[in-house]
Amino acid sequence: MIPPAVARLSRVWFPSGGIAVSGVEDGHAKLIRAGFLRPSHAGMFHMLPLGRRVQDKIERLVAGHMEESLAASRVSLSSISAEALWEKSGRLQNVASELFRFSDRRDVPYLLSPTHEEEITALVARTVKSYKELPLRLYQITRKYRDEFRPRHGLLRGREFTMKDLYTFDSSVESALETYEKVRAVYTRIFSDIKLPVLSAKASSGDMGGDLSHEYHLPTPLGEDRVVSCDSCDYVVNEDIAHPGAPQDVPEGASFQVWRGITKDRTKLVNVVYPRWIKPLGGGELREYTDQDINLSAVKSAVPDLDAGVEDPLPFWSAATAPGTGTATELVNVVDSRLWPSLGGGSEAVALGASGWPATLSPPAVPLSVSSRHTTGCDRQPLNLLRIRTGDKCPQCSSGTLKVEKAMELGHTFFLGTRYSALLGAVASVPPARQPSPMQMGCYGIGISRLIGAVAEHLADDTGLNWPVTIAPYSCVVIAGKDAEDCEAMQVCNLINDVSSSNAFFDVALDDRPRPLPWKMTDADLIGFPVIILLGREWRSSRRVEVQCRRVALKQLVEVAELPSMLTQLFKSL
pLDDT in tens, the chain (574 residues): 455 678 899 999 988 766 777 777 899 999 999 999 999 999 999 999 999 999 999 999 999 999 999 999 999 999 999 999 999 999 998 888 899 999 999 999 999 999 999 999 999 999 998 899 999 999 999 999 999 888 888 999 899 999 999 999 999 999 999 999 999 999 999 999 998 999 999 988 766 666 789 999 999 888 888 999 999 898 999 988 887 655 566 766 667 888 889 998 888 888 888 888 877 655 567 788 888 888 888 888 888 888 888 888 888 888 888 877 778 888 888 888 777 666 655 443 444 444 455 555 555 544 445 556 666 554 556 778 888 888 888 888 878 888 999 999 999 999 999 999 999 999 998 887 778 899 999 999 999 999 999 999 999 999 999 999 999 999 999 999 887 788 888 989 888 877 655 554 568 999 999 999 999 999 999 999 999 999 988 888 888 999 999 999 999 999 988 888 888 888 888 8
Q: What is the 3-state secondary structure (H, E, C) of 478-491?
A: EEECCCCCHHHHHH
535 and 423 in a common domain: no
Q: Give CA 115 to chain center in angstroms.
A: 15
417 and 362 in a common domain: no
Determine the length of the chain. 574
Cα angle vertex 315, ends 313, 316, to 5°? 65
**Angle separating helix axes 486-500 and 563-572, nearest 10 degrees:** 50
437 and 367 in a common domain: no
* 62, part of any domain: yes
What single string gives the DSSP state of each residue in 408-471?
A: EEEEEEEEEETTTHHHHT-EEEETTTTEEEEPEEEEEEEEHHHHHHHHHHHH--SS-----TTT
**Residue range of the domain that includes 288:** 248-375
User: Residue 255 in 3-state DSSP?
Assistant: coil
pLDDT at 357: 57
* 25, part of any domain: no
pLDDT at 152: 85
346 and 236 in a common domain: no
**Neighbouring residues of 4: CB distance < 8 A, sequence distance ≥ 6:** 497, 501, 507
293 and 155 in a common domain: no
**Of 358, 375, 392, which residue sits at a domain end?**
375
256 and 362 in a common domain: yes
**Of 456, 480, 497, which residue sits at a domain end?**
456
The HSE-up count of residue 243 (CA atoms within 13 Å, CB side) is: 10
257 and 206 in a common domain: no
Q: What is the rounded distance in angstroms from the CA atom of residue 406 to the CA atom of residue 220?
A: 6
Global pTM value: 0.85
233 and 118 in a common domain: yes
* 41, part of any domain: no
Q: What is the rounded distance in angstroms from the CA atom of residue 449 to the CA atom of residue 161?
A: 6
CATH number, domain containing residue 471: 3.40.50.800
pLDDT at 365: 47
563 and 487 in a common domain: yes
CATH number, domain containing residue 69: 3.30.930.10
* 484, part of any domain: yes
Q: What is the rounded distance in angstroms from the CA atom of residue 452 to the CA atom of residue 562?
A: 33
pLDDT at 571: 86
Q: What is the rounded distance in angstroms from the CA atom of residue 70 to the CA atom of residue 116?
A: 20
Q: What is the rounded distance in angstroms from the CA atom of residue 545 to the CA atom of residue 495?
A: 13
pLDDT at 77: 97
362 and 301 in a common domain: yes
As a dihedral over the C-alpha atoms of residue 180, residue 183, residue 189, residue 193, rounded to 10 degrees, the angle is: -140
174 and 51 in a common domain: yes
* Domains identified in the chain, total number: 3
pLDDT at 142: 96
Q: What is the rounded distance in angstroms from the CA atom of residue 30 to the CA atom of residue 27?
A: 5
* 420, part of any domain: yes
* 363, part of any domain: yes
* 91, part of any domain: no
Q: What is the rounded distance in angstroms from the CA atom of residue 339 to the CA atom of residue 374?
A: 13
* 36, part of any domain: no
193 and 55 in a common domain: yes
